[in-house]
Structure 1
Amino acid sequence: MREDPTVIALVTRAGKGDEAAWNELLDRYLPLMWSICNRYRVGRPDADDVVQTVCLRLVEQLAVLRTPSALPGWIAVTTQRECFRVLRSARKRELSESPLGGDLAGDGSEVIERELERAEFQAAMRAAFAQLPPLCRDLLTTLMGDPRPSYAEVSRQLSMPVGGIGPNRARCLAKLRRSPYLTAYLGLDEEGEGNA
């Protein structure tokens, strides 16, 4: 993750109550929140609620944020989760208001819940994967090919020694696991330990 000294300074100042720093954080990250709401097609009134909720959570967490440079990832994941919560709630309302809602609510809501959880995980995984260095993205994508390529084929394709593929793969997967997108989604710290 890239250490942005400006973000770190803003988080530190805002965490100590500096209103100008808070306003600058909002100016910087409100567009991100709105774009995530738009991507998930959350309507304007619900999007207003999502952004407000994320901002309130940010106020609560700002002073205790362990890794200030992880703020953009935290905001993205928190906004995604809040969008999913709002969409899930709206879907449950739709099911309960439909004439057949009573008959379908048990089975339908479980399927919707699983689909939303899967979509949330996939979004976190895509965001984490996108922040990997190009070499890691290329290596992991190549190794996931179908049919699965041999290390000799991977070596030729990526101009990488066969003996370096396994260790590089391990380092890339470790970077992926430490991504703020996945650690926030899974409720882990940057070392992969659960937050208690």
Structure 2
Amino acid sequence: MQDDVAHQLRLAASGDQVAWNDLVDRFSPLLWSICRHYGLSSADASDAFQLTWLRLLEHIDTIHDPARLPGWLGTTCRRECLSLLRRNKRVWPTDDDRLLDLFSGSSSSADQPALIADRNARLWREFGRLDVRCQKILRLLLIEPDGDRVSYKLVAAALDMPVGSLGPIRGRCLARLRGLLDAGGISDVLRDS
């Protein structure tokens, strides 16, 4: 058998496809059993299997002792399996964008405070471009005297306005502010933060 493996290996190294196919047929069960032993998914097992044969193809001229080919293939296959396992520990494929956001937001960059300060300054600059009435309404509606709910009665009394007109006016003021933010390219920054 050792002479047969040595002969097949020499022929495969010289480009004989039949000899290469014979080697693949002979040692494939060994490689598949190693892949199954590591518990790889079928796709990863297939990758490890193919990479092992690729490594043999790359190093076929450096195999000095053809009798040790089964051991070389086994060691190479184990290394490929371990490499895939290590890589898979770092990468978890997902189509759930919420998980990606969860992990990407876990570490803040060093420039995060500066970016937030710049965003806030731009926001207040655009807020200052609103008319005085809108500024007053929006500022007062940020005060929460009744626990978690804004008291429209208090705000309407403070501005000497009917309670029923406060909501629609507030909506128009927010729409103006949103338009200013969109025009200034700030709304994208606010959405991203």
TM-score by length of 1: 0.47
Query: Greater CA radius of gyration, 1 or 2?
Result: 2
- Which structure has more relative contact order (CA 8 Å, sep 6+)? It is 1
TM-score by length of 2: 0.47
